[in-house]
A = this chain, B = another copy of it.
Amino acid sequence: MIKLKDIAERMNVSVGTVSKALRHSHEISEEMTDRIIRCANEMGYVANSSAISLKTNKSYNIGVVFNDKTHAGLGHDYFSIMLNSMRDELTLQGYDFTFITHMLGDRNISYLNHARYRRCDGIIVVTADFNDPEIVELVKAEIPVVTIDHIFNNRTTIQSDNEQGLVEIVKYVFSKGHRKIAFIHGEDTTVTSHRLGGFYKTCEELGIEVDQRFIKEALYHYPQKAGLMTREILALEDRPTCIIYPDDYSYMGGATEIEKHGLKIPEDISVVGYDGIFLSRILRPVLTSYKQNSVEIGKVAVQKLLAQIEHPKSFVRKPVMISGCLQKGQTVKDIN
């Protein structure tokens, strides 16, 4: 591996000069700079990030907490697309990232210590158990943190506008004449409470009386559970005309159950999903779903984090809300 010293020797200048020239310091003459850069390229010089990090205390490395022990995670379009987007934006800004885990080798290591070990300049918490003391410790630490979809005291948060999502869904199905609307939601998280908020608020505004037997809790990204809840709802003598699912995967589980009952979508019952995953546009009937803007969420999360890292003084902490859009499909029947 070629190092500064090698270039310096070849050029008969000092290491300091080479270092400065390669970083376009104005202390060095233009001509010298040119010659040094050319020489470095010829010799195949690549900087050593470890040495730079050691010296400057900056790693250009971001820690990403992506704990997908549950049924969601990387296999979920929402997150994989977001992760992709984060990666693209980080790359654009000259950063790499490292997954921060709570184990490393044979030892336990807290998320925070893992991040410290790698000297991460900042951290993005994409998915995690926010009740985990280790996560709390991480978020409270001195290192810049951005969280996704969950507000933590005094920390920057990028949120998908889940309230707005349900507002739009309910308004849409209402406009199609539906009044008896079931809502199968996910487990108890910030996301879920926002969605429930949007749901109830809009129902009230529109004068829809919510039948509590139509509100069921399932689990995100868990079709079987959604299927079960669907069955319970279909067992009611006074069925809803429309079911809103926690996500598109859950809908798929529900669809199977609906079919088992000999019902057709949307002729006999309407459905709405959430996320607008790739397949939801491919399969027939095309699913009506609320597409979260995960590309934007990932991008903004990175931008906010880097702003905080690079301009800590001028950085203003405020939560950011990213709205998605309703993808109209063929699964909501007009019953007006």
List residues of A whose CB falls within 8 A of some B CB: 1, 46-51, 53-54, 59, 61, 68, 73-75, 77, 80-81, 83-84, 87, 91-94, 96-99, 101, 103-106, 113, 116-119, 223, 249, 252-253, 255-256, 259, 278-279, 282-284
A contact patch SS: helix
> CA separation between A184 and B18, bound complex, in Å?
57
A28 vs chain B, min Cβ distance (A): 19
Asked if B282 and A279 sit within 8 Å, CB to CB, the answer is no
Q: Which residues of B contact A119 (CB under 8 A)?
A: 48-50
A133 vs chain B, min Cβ distance (A): 15
> CA separation between A49 and B116, bound complex, in Å?
9
Nearest B residue to A227 via CB reads: B282
One of B47, B48, B113, B283 near A46 (C-beta < 8 A): B113
> CA separation between A46 and B91, bound complex, in Å?
27
A24 vs chain B, min Cβ distance (A): 12
Answer whether A94 and B106 are a contact pair too, CB < 8 Å, given A118-B49, A259-B284, A279-B252: yes
Known: A48-B54, A49-B118. 6 other contacts (CB 8 A): A50-B53, A91-B101, A92-B105, A253-B282, A259-B284, A283-B283
